[in-house]
Amino acid sequence: MTTTDAPPLTSPTLRRAKRRLTTLFGLPIIPVLLLAPMVICGLFGPWIWPHDPLGISFGIRLLPPPWLEGGNWSYILGTDQFGRDLFSRLIEGARIALIVSTVSVSVAAVIGTAVGMMAGYYGGVIDMILMRIVDVKMSIPPVLLTILIGAALGGGLATILISIILVFWADYARVIRGETLALKRTGYVQLAKVANVSDRRIFLRHLLPNLAPTCIVLMTLQFGASLVIEAAITFIGLGIQPPASAWGLLVADGRTYLSTAWWIPTFAGLAIALTALGANLLGDWLRDYFDPKLKKR
């Protein structure tokens, strides 16, 4: 995809270079730094957390962070209403967020890419049905879809995963379909067809490698979006249930103790916002890097 030839100094090239610089102050290091804690905590949580995230001890309820009066350096971000260490609960929350986001985004990507490729390549009835389904999806806000599914399934992890997959797959399908339509007309795909190459081989060898950058960019951006959606669903009580320590749940808990324990919702929300920011920045950077035909939204 990337060429090493010196590009002509036209203004779009300059603009692209400038965009690349300003989004990240020249380096993709910022998004990586923002995402790393979540991934590391998610993978190695039990070896990192200083206390048991579910360990209740009423003697130290609502302990503030150590730099405030009454704080304790053993509980670096304070404790919650059951005396559980907030820092450890955030680490445990990273694990839940990592699982939910990775699973939902990957499944949505596989389904969406497959459907999008078929719709773009074959056209006809498949294409028509797909675009109508995309229309339906676009007309129902994700949260409402979740309420609908949650009402039927009763909330919980399954509700979150199904909702996010249902919301996201259509995005891939729509974008991949558009790209496939363009790729279909290229010389090498036409020639492969003439050479009687099987459809399966055209899909895997000729289309998929060219669609990969678009897919990777979309997956990164949706990783960020899925974090926020997961937290929102959990926050309104349709997602992960207590006593698990999902980030959205911590914000919801903290709502009750807003005037006495501001640190609970503040730090939990910061964890969501910073991680999602990292994913969004990385997605933007990747988009400029690959320069696919994704429209800026």
Partner 1 sequence: MLNYILKRLGLAAITIFGVLLLIFIAARASGDVTLLMLPQDATDEMIAAFRAQHGLDQPVIVQFWQFLMGMLGGDFGTSLRYQRPAIEVILQRLPATLELTLSAFGLALVLGVTLGMLSAYWRGSVFDRVIRVVAIMLQSMPGFWLAIMAILVFAVTLGWLPTSGRNGFLSLIMPAVTLATFPLSGILRMTRSSILETIESEYVKFLRIKGVPESTILWRHALRNALIPVIALCGLQLGNLMGGAVITETIFNWPGLGSLMIESFVSRDYPVIQVGVLFIATMLILLNLAVDLLFCVVDPRIRYA
Return the amino acid letter for 6: A
3-class state of residue 72 by DSSP: coil
Residue 254 in contact with partner 1, rule: CB under 8 A: yes
Which one, 197 or 273, has the nearer CB to partner 1?
A: 273
With CB under 8 A as the contact rule, the residue among 41, 108, 238, 286 that binds partner 1 is: 238
Q: Which stretch binds partner 1 (CB under 8 A): 55-63, 150-158, 194-202, 203-211?
A: 150-158
* Type and span of the H or E element at 171: helix 157-184
Which residue reads 């986001």 in tokens? Answer: 101
Task: Give the Cα-Cα-Cα angle 38, 44, 50 (nearest 5 degrees).
Answer: 90
With CB under 8 A as the contact rule, the residue among 82, 262, 289, 290 that binds partner 1 is: 262
Which one, 214 or 275, has the nearer CB to partner 1?
A: 275
Cα(286)–Cα(284) distance, integer angstroms: 5
Contacts of partner 1 in 270-289 (CB under 8 A): 272-274, 276-277, 279-281, 284
The Cβ of residue 154 has, within 10 Å, a number of other Cβ atoms equal to 10
Which one, 203 or 290, has the nearer CB to partner 1?
A: 290
Q: Is the dihedral of CA 162, 217, 40, 265 positive or negative?
A: negative
With CB under 8 A as the contact rule, the residue among 16, 20, 23, 156 that binds partner 1 is: 23
Which one, 202 or 286, has the nearer CB to partner 1?
A: 286
Cα(164)–Cα(239) distance, integer angstroms: 11
Which residue reads 């020639």 in tokens? Answer: 191
Per the structure block, which two tokens stand in for 90?
A: 């955030």
Residue 63 in contact with partner 1, rule: CB under 8 A: no
Residue 86 in contact with partner 1, rule: CB under 8 A: no
Do residues 213 and 228 lie in contact, with contact meaning Cβ atoms separated by under 8 Å?
no
Residue 160 in contact with partner 1, rule: CB under 8 A: no
Do residues 240 and 96 lie in contact, with contact meaning Cβ atoms separated by under 8 Å?
yes
Contacts of partner 1 in 111-140 (CB under 8 A): 132-133, 135-136, 138-140
Q: Which residues bind partner 1 (CB under 8 A)?
A: 11-12, 15, 18, 22-23, 132-133, 135-136, 138-145, 147-154, 224, 228, 231-232, 235-238, 248, 251, 254-255, 258-259, 262, 265-266, 268-269, 272-274, 276-277, 279-281, 284, 296-297
